[in-house]
Structure 1
Amino acid sequence: MRIYTKNQIEKAIDIPLLITEIERGLIYYSKKQTMIAQSSFLRFEKPPGDVHIKSGAILDDEFYVVKIASGFYDNPKLALPSSNGLMLLFSQKTGELKAILLDEGLLTDLRTALAGAIAAKYLANHPIKKIGIIGTGTQAREQLFNLQFVTACREVLIWGRNPAKAKAFSQDLRFSSFKISLAKEIEEIPQNCDLIVTATSSKNPLLFGDQLRPGTHITAVGADDYEKQELDSSVFDKADLIIVDSLSQCSQYGDLAHVKDIQNKPIMELGAFLEKPKIRHKHLITVVDLTGIAIEDLQVAKAVFSSLKSIYKGDK
């Protein structure tokens, strides 16, 4: 059994490889070639935080994964990152623990961002003219950073509740290749952007259907439990195509779970779409609701573990 720290894990990250592996995992999932346990949640109020526990496997694969990830949103006040966690890789043949990835939430943040990048790669209206980011936290930044692997667009408009955080986001040196502007009002995002990413912990809708223009694509990643909601139900009424990472999960939590009645709307899983991609007509409004599934964790953990073993061959 091997233990790897966050610093070691960072050296083993290959973004193009991880995108490919997550795409494969999503296809396996939609083809029902996986086992996924019910996700577990813990929610804390003082200080505000939540913990997610996910586990899963691909049938007849080498490993299964158990992942714990947390977000404690007042941590930045203590000069601490809001995310934390780890991933455990076990042998699917013997149950032996093979690796402990002490990623401190890095891999969860990354796989969520890469799922968003995959959604944009296949469903956004290319060439993208302007990217809109709603949110200023870790995941909002990860979403923008990883979009550079799937689009050449560098025009960005950011909105956040806290203007100081939005300004800090725009001045982050990681985004020096982007041309970032700040929106004073959230309505400026759908008015000006054809790719919109929502990455907040909001419990109330931020985007509404009457704000959306033809050709808009939305990727919503923030509503990952029963209480959070970023998209009003009218967004789904306006959408021409709705994609989810998991039909079962998104019927229980996420933005789509808040919609009481969806009639005559095509809804499909991202993995099913990836298996047989369709041409995206430019006038369509598309929405992808991502709640995060364990197969993404598994695919990222396996790929990183393989790279780590190559890098640290002499370690035991």
Structure 2
Amino acid sequence: MRHFTDAEVAAALDWPGLIDALREGFRRGADSPPRPHYTVPVPDERDATLLLMPAWSPGRYIGLKTVTVFPDNGTRGLAAVGAHYLLIDARNGRIAASFDGGELTARRTAAASALASTCLSRADAGRLLVVGTGQLAPRLVHAHATVRPIRAVDVWGRDPEKAAALAARLSSAGLPARVAPDLEQAVRSADIVSCATLATEPLIHGDWLAPGTHLDLVGAFTPTMREADDVAVGRARVFVDTREGALSEAGEIVQAVARGVLDPQGIQGDLAGLVRGTAAGRRSADEITLFKSVGCSLEDLVAAELCFERSAHPAS
């Protein structure tokens, strides 16, 4: 059985290839049941979360990811999210490969946002604001820059030192990045706003969004979390990675529906509909679009398949 480290996953999953694989994966479809959430108490800290995420494609592969989220790990210098993945041959049940799940999760999440952006952001979107400084933030920047002509990147985080470090890291990679000292002003001037935080109260206010902005919300994965307020949801055409996941887990969506700000039928489409052409993406240069991602096990399966198949059949 082959095991893939995070470094090997990163080397195998280039952004264009992974984005294209996700497009084909959502077009093809797979069995991706709702993921169960379990609350795990942590003494003297916020509760942790355990998630189990299965998916399968008959005759191809079965995948299972375990995820833990420890919100206070940052105080220990550790990542908040931890994950492991098993890829199983769906023809005989044998384990084909295992993966360190951190890079797999981060890359497929960022690639899904970029895939949505190809349908929802303006084709000329050049200024990107990333909100958050965790492991997802640089990957979101690189993924968005793969599909849009990003010329400037603003970085905002609660910790200015972490924001400065991320901006320097992005700049050294060839992406002109700077720290955004004022979040409101950065949002008002952005073409794409991409959020990856553990916020439970809105950071992004809808009144700040300029016409034509695309809002990419990645961080809030439980009904009690949210990164944007009801005004943002109400002003935007709303899209999700999956309807079932968004309506049960996405804080911005669940809370907006509960307060009557959003009718579930008002969700304009999901990723499958966007790539299949059954849901219309951006319709004008001035409309505000919102993509809410909570993660989908189909994305993990596609990423693991791509990594494994590339290792078995390397390009000549």
Q: Which residue is equivalent to 1:105?
A: 102
Q: Which residue is equivalent to 2:138?
A: 141
How many Å apart are 1:107 and its aligned residue? 0.3
How many Å apart are 1:279 and its aligned residue? 5.2
Q: Take 1:15 and 1:286, find their aligned partners in 2: how far apart are those partners?
A: 23
Contact 1:204–1:228 (Cα < 8 Å) also in 2: yes
Please, which of 148, 151, 154 is the counterpart of residue 154 of structure 1? 151
Is 2:57 the partner of 1:54?
no
Q: Which residue is equivalent to 2:245?
A: 249
The 3-state SS of whatever aligns with 2:248 is coil
Q: Take 1:158 and 1:2, find their aligned partners in 2: how far apart are those partners?
A: 37
Question: Structure 1 residues 12, 176: CA separation in 2 closer, same or farther (over 3 Å shift)?
Answer: closer
Is 2:126 the partner of 1:123?
no
| Alignment gaps of 5+ in structure 1 | 312-316
Q: Which residue is equivalent to 1:189?
A: 186
How many Å apart are 1:44 and its aligned residue? 4.6
Give matches, 1:12-91, under 5 Å. 12-29=12-29, 33-45=30-42, 46-48=44-46, 49-58=48-57, 60-91=58-89
Contact 2:170–2:177 (Cα < 8 Å) also in 1: no
Alignment-mate amino acid for residue 52 of structure 1: L
Q: Which residue is equivalent to 2:303?
A: 300
Alignment-mate amino acid for residue 56 of structure 1: A
The 3-state SS of whatever aligns with 1:115 is helix
Q: Which residue is equivalent to 2:274?
A: 273
Q: Take 1:67 and 1:306, find their aligned partners in 2: how far apart are those partners?
A: 18
- Cα deviation, 1:139-184, whole Å, max 9, x if unaligned, reads 1121112222111212011211111111111111565412222222
Contact 2:54–2:63 (Cα < 8 Å) also in 1: yes
Question: Structure 1 residues 66, 174: CA separation in 2 closer, same or farther (over 3 Å shift)?
Answer: farther
How many Å apart are 1:133 and its aligned residue? 1.0
Task: State the identity as a percent.
Answer: 25
How many Å apart are 1:278 and its aligned residue? 4.4
Question: Structure 1 residues 61, 16: CA separation in 2 closer, same or farther (over 3 Å shift)?
Answer: farther
Q: Which residue is equivalent to 1:289?
A: 292
The 3-state SS of whatever aligns with 1:8 is helix
Q: Which residue is equivalent to 2:220?
A: 223
Contact 1:13–1:304 (Cα < 8 Å) also in 2: yes
Deviation larger for 116-125 or 75-84: 75-84
* TM-score (normalised: structure 2): 0.88
Alignment-mate amino acid for residue 248 of structure 1: E
Alignment-mate amino acid for residue 245 of structure 2: Q
Q: Take 1:143 and 1:229, find their aligned partners in 2: how far apart are those partners?
A: 18
Question: Structure 1 residues 131, 173: CA separation in 2 closer, same or farther (over 3 Å shift)?
Answer: closer
Alignment-mate amino acid for residue 86 of structure 1: H
Q: Take 2:201 and 2:240, find their aligned partners in 1: how far apart are those partners?
A: 20
- Cα deviation, 1:180-234, whole Å, max 9, x if unaligned, reads 2222222112211011001100011111222211111101000112322111122
Contact 2:37–2:49 (Cα < 8 Å) also in 1: no
Alignment-mate amino acid for residue 84 of structure 2: L
Contact 1:69–1:105 (Cα < 8 Å) also in 2: no
Q: Take 1:219 and 1:150, find their aligned partners in 2: how far apart are those partners?
A: 14
Which has the larger share of helix?
2
Q: Take 2:19 and 2:55, find their aligned partners in 1: how far apart are those partners?
A: 19
The 3-state SS of whatever aligns with 1:36 is coil
Question: Structure 1 residues 214, 69: CA separation in 2 closer, same or farther (over 3 Å shift)?
Answer: same
Give matches, 1:175-214, under 5 Å. 175-214=172-211
Q: Which residue is equivalent to 1:232?
A: 229
Alignment-mate amino acid for residue 85 of structure 1: A
Q: Take 1:164 and 1:299, find their aligned partners in 2: how far apart are those partners?
A: 35
The 3-state SS of whatever aligns with 2:20 is helix
Deviation larger for 245-254 or 148-157: 148-157
Q: Take 1:121 and 1:242, find their aligned partners in 2: how far apart are those partners?
A: 15
* TM-score (normalised: structure 1): 0.88
CA-atom RMSD, angstroms? 2.2
